[in-house]
Amino acid sequence: MMEITLQSPLDMHIHFRQDEMLKVVAPLSAQHFAGGVIMPNLLPPVDNLDRLHWYTSEVQQACVGHTFDPYMTLFFRDYTAQDLELAKPHIIGIKLYPAGATTNSDGGVQEIMSMAHVFDAMQELDIPLLVHGETHGFVMDREDEFCEVYRALATRWPRLRITMEHITTQKAVGLLDEFENLRATVTPHHLIITLDDLAGGMLQPHLFCKPIAKRPEDRDALLQAALSAHPKLMLGSDSAPHPRDKKECPGCAAGVFTAPIILPMLAELFERHNALANLQAFVSDNAQRLYKLTPPAKTITLSKTAMMIPELYGSVVPMWAGRELSWSVTAIS
């Protein structure tokens, strides 16, 4: 039987939500990963130390029994240098949302370059900037349009470590080789689907996310970068749970829930392209180097043994519910 072992896999972009949803979804990530970057776009957002400490405690409690380090983030706002200095020991970075760009982002930034003083302080303190990179233009062009913002940020603050979150376009992939201080996460679903899978036939609400899936040539550029273990690209699932009634309804919420199936999905994908040898770098090694992390020791063994994806996890429908994957996690140590 074919097997692969992964050392301390990391999910560098996860949504855990809060309350009952947190209790359902957090253990599903903590089971298979040694650590993960937890997004701060709650209601209200995690944008001060008191709320950060509260949320960290909630996440740790939800992950009890698993070897898992939550890497916490603050929601970007007009912080002082003193605010940032106090927060630095408790966070991996600060997450910038353009106002209204995605779920729970109405309190995001209106004019990004007006926050120069915050970027100055982050650069001096070496606090990474994590960015949801979309404008408010035509939906298929939003990320490509935002590439000019990335260029401006990377040029003006060359020592600021900037992560382009959940990139979806060929143009964004190209930026990785253009600027030393840019790196990126990419989701498993954007390595696989295009807009056709979402809306080419009957609408598939559980594949709707932001940024939206793009063209085949965009998917292929992302896939090539991941399969080749591009040194500045990391797994960041953007696993984003919503209750079923918030997905299968008018005004469908944006988010694809993949947490329980990420590693089997990726093993199947990388095997299909004869790239299993590069999976370790994509799911852990690159992130450790780029973020200067030492995650807890954790070994995940995957075998080429079929698993059926459940129809529901609590109230949440996972991607590809009811379908079979050819790989599964068979041991955790």
**Which residues carry out catalysis?**
238
Distance, C-alpha 262 to centroid of its chain: 12
Chain position carrying tokens 């912080």: 79
Q: What is the dihedral of CA 312, 316, 322, 323, to 10 degrees?
A: -140
Chain position carrying tokens 């954790």: 298
Contact between 80 and 64 (Cβ < 8 Å): no
Contact between 284 and 295 (Cβ < 8 Å): yes
Phi and psi at residue 228, to the nearest 5°: -90, 5
The DSSP string of 157-196 is -TTS-EEETT--SHHHHHHTTT-TTEEEEE-TGGGT--HH
Residues recorded for the chain: 333
CB atoms under 10 Å from CB of 113, counted, come to 11
Amino acid at 50: D
> Which two tokens mark 202?
């009957």
Which run of H or of E encompasses 267?
Answer: helix 262-272
CA distance 60 to 12: 17
3-state secondary structure of 83: helix
HSE toward the beta carbon, residue 171, CA cutoff 13 A: 16
Distance, C-alpha 148 to centroid of its chain: 21
Q: Which residue, 255, 227, 182, 246, is CA-closest to 14?
A: 255
CA distance 319 to 37: 21
Q: What angle do CA 136, 113, 90 make, to 5 degrees?
A: 95
